[in-house]
Amino acid sequence: MNSFTLTQATAADEAVRDLTSHDGAAYLGGGTNLVDLMKYNLERPSHLTSLGMLPLADITGLPDGGLRLGALATNADTAWHPEVEKRYPLLSQTILAGATPQLRNAATNGGNLNQRTRCYYFYDLAAPCNKREPGTGCSALTGPNRVCGVLGTSDSCIATQPSDMCVALAALEAVVRVQGPDGERTIKFQDYHRLPGDQPEKDNTLKPGELVTAIDLPAEGYADHFVYLKLRDRSSYAFALVSVAVGLKMNGDTIEKARFALGGVAHKPWRDQAAEQLLEGQKPSPDLFRQVAAKVFAEAKGYGEGSLHNSFKIELGKRAIVRALKQATEMQYEVNPNAFLNSNP
Amino acid sequence: MSLHFTQEALDKTPPTIVPTQPVTLNVNGEDHTIQIAPWTSLLDALREYMDLTGTKKGCDHGQCGACTVLVDGKRINSCLALATVYQGKQIQTIEGLGSEDNLSPLQQAFVDHDAFQCGYCTPGQICSAQGLINEGRCKTEDEVREHLSGNLCRCGAYTNILSAVMEVLHDGQVVVDNGTLVTIPAQPSASSSVN
């Protein structure tokens, strides 16, 4: 690890001032990703602005019926907060599907949004990587790329955003509150992370010096019909190959409102609003779900066949969507099970 | 695509001379004031500056759990924690859970169940299991397995680790898969076996 100075800020505006007054500074939340990256020499900040003393760890109700998650609340405290468990079980389950208890106890909500990719080549200092060092090339395009993306990729980068929590926040249409040198602003969750394009070194749309202060959840938490389906190489403590977070509002046997997002397939939690609309006003059926899945992956691009390469994610992703939608609709409303048994996968 | 040598990139950043600072950490109920740099991990502070070597360094990247300690009763990876920002917190290590003459229930259960071979992961396993019990979220074996997944055991003592934790979790009883509580007899202690 390189040497650095460290300030412990006690307020958000003080943190922003401290960070912007140092060249090459970074915010330190729980440190579970940043300190790890520093040990690999992937991040070499000359100064850390520690956020641990900021009063941003609360989870509080909002006047519109929503819930505000403080950026400094830990992932564990968020997942096990009574209001989150009761009204946003999708978020709770999604957080608990990621990392380990030790990491979730230290990792913060703001930090979860800003964690870097786990692409092999990003971590391999001897390999070209446009995200780590712009202009050096993308080793994943031709090398083993099982963990990489198939949607929204570019010739510069096919890395994925690794968070589970963010997949739920995308489906829940959360809003990110940030504070920077020019004051406060909000960012819709779907606009927070970005596609790689020709600037894969940029993971998100934060401006220099901006700090995440909170994540606001809308009132609708889809607590009656939700599922987080996470498919991975082992059943615990592994990043998603493909994951699907679904929240549905049912009216009898009709899908009134549908929101879903995918993890493990893109540089950001992947939402397809046109595909969501295909579900709304419809009755659940295998054909409908397959149509939705086909829509999501219509423009997907795989980067090689076999278990080392990621083309398998396209079919896996489609099947994951069908299964997740089936599970979410069946949580209370029982679809005729034979409809699924008799259909081709 | 040419191989990219990053040593060049590393050399671009001039070293910063950062003075060490006094930092007071409350560990196992006692204040320890040590003189450390900002990049000293809590793990290194415990082991190298306080001689509390029960906490182990395994991967040093938050993957193996050997460095698990409790902070305000919650388990964390001390290797990914910068010691400086843990001032004012109650830190508990394996040395603070019990003593040689008075083992904690988990420590005793690990002995009774022969829940270790080389013992390197054991302090982390026990601190993590204590955190799990403090959380009060797990009842079944499957739940305990999932919630101890942040602790790796290279020897593969998982079966007996699980037995030990289940015994303490249910105060001398274990849960079998159908949900029935069953008391199990303690196994011979590790010290009685001959290798």
Q: What is the pLDDT of residues B42-67, one digit of tens each?
A: 999 999 999 999 999 999 999 999 99
Residue A337 pLDDT: 47
**What residue segments make up the domains of chain B, in order of their start?**
21-183
Is A14 part of the contact surface with chain B (CB cutoff 8 Å)?
no
Q: Rounded CA gap, A109 and A76, in Å?
A: 9
- Residue B10 pLDDT more than 60? no
Q: Residue A310 is part of a domain; what is its CATH number?
A: 3.30.390.50
- Residue B188 pLDDT more than 80? no
Closest CA to A71 of A89, A57, A91, A61: A57
Residue A45 maps to a domain:
yes
Residue A16 maps to a domain:
yes
Q: With a threshold of 0.95, does the pTM exceed it? A: no
What value does the mean pLDDT take over residues A201-226?
Answer: 98
What value does the mean pLDDT take over residues A305-313?
Answer: 97
> Which structural domain range is residue A265 located in?
226-330
Last residue of a domain, one of A53, A79, A94: A53
Residue B174 pLDDT: 54
CB contact under 8 A, B18 and A4: yes
- Residue A197 pLDDT more than 90? yes
- Residue B175 pLDDT more than 60? no
A198-210: pLDDT as tens digits = 999 999 999 999 9
Lowest mean pLDDT among A155-169, A213-227, A329-343: A329-343
Residue A337 maps to a domain:
no
Percentage above 70 pLDDT, chain A: 96
Residue B171 pLDDT: 75
Residue entry with tokens 């010096």:
A209
Residue A338 pLDDT: 47
Q: Average model confidence (pLDDT) for chain A?
A: 95
Percentage above 90 pLDDT, chain B: 76
| Number of domain units in chain A | 2
- A342 pLDDT band, cuts 50/70/90, is very low
Residue entry with tokens 């099947």:
A319
Q: Residue A35 is part of a domain; what is its CATH number?
A: 3.30.43.10
Strands A211-217 and A175-180: antiparallel
- Cβ-Cβ contacts under 8 Å between A and B: the total is 113
CB contact under 8 A, A46 and B16: yes
DSSP helix/strand/coil, B90: strand
Residue A336 pLDDT: 47
- Residue B164 pLDDT more than 50? yes
Identity (one letter) of the amino acid at B172?
G
Residues of B with CB under 8 A from a CB of A: 1-6, 9-10, 13, 15-18, 37-39, 41, 60-62, 65, 68, 71, 74-77, 80-82, 84-85, 128, 131-132, 135, 137, 145-147, 149-150
CB contact under 8 A, B77 and A125: no
- Residue B34 pLDDT more than 60? yes
Residue A1 maps to a domain:
yes
Judged on CB neighbours under 10 Å (0-12, 13-18, 19+), B99 is exposed
Smallest CA–CA separation between B101 and chain A, in Å?
29
Residue A171 pLDDT: 98
DSSP helix/strand/coil, B30: strand
Q: Rounded CA gap, B146 and A97, in Å?
A: 10
- Residue A299 pLDDT more than 60? yes
Residue A73 pLDDT: 98
Residue of B nearest to A24 (CA): B13
HSE-up (13 A, CA, CB side) for residue A276 = 21
Residue A111 maps to a domain:
no
Residue from A23, A35, A78, A102 whose CB has the most chain B CBs within 10 Å, to mutate: A102
Superfamily of domain B21-183: Beta-grasp domain (3.10.20.30)
Is A76 part of the contact surface with chain B (CB cutoff 8 Å)?
yes
ipTM (interface pTM): 0.94
Residue B12 pLDDT: 55
Residue A341 maps to a domain:
no
- Residue B8 pLDDT more than 70? no
Closest CA to A145 of A168, A126, A129: A129
- Residue B18 pLDDT more than 90? no
How far is the CA of A174 from the CAs of A30, A88, A190, B110, in angstroms?
21, 11, 8, 44
A321-340: pLDDT as tens digits = 999 999 999 986 444 444 44
Closest CA to A132 of A124, A143, A140: A124
What value does the mean pLDDT take over residues A41-60?
Answer: 97
Q: Looking at the partner chain, which of B15, B75, B80 has a beta carbon nearest the beta carbon of A35?
A: B80
Residue B170 pLDDT: 87
Residues pairing with A245 in the sheet: A228, A261
- Residue A247 pLDDT more than 80? yes
Residue A333 pLDDT: 46
B114-129: pLDDT as tens digits = 999 999 999 999 999 9
Residue A129 maps to a domain:
no
Q: Identify the DSSP state of B82.
A: B
The token pair at A110 is 């703001």
DSSP helix/strand/coil, B181: strand
Residue A199 pLDDT: 98
> Could you tell me if A25 and A19 are in contact, meaning their C-beta atoms sit under 8 angstroms apart?
yes
What value does the mean pLDDT take over residues B71-75?
Answer: 98
Compute the radius of gyration of chain A from its Cα atoms: 20
CB contact under 8 A, A127 and B4: yes
Residue A292 maps to a domain:
yes
DSSP helix/strand/coil, A261: strand
> Could you tell me if A95 and A104 are in contact, meaning their C-beta atoms sit under 8 angstroms apart?
yes
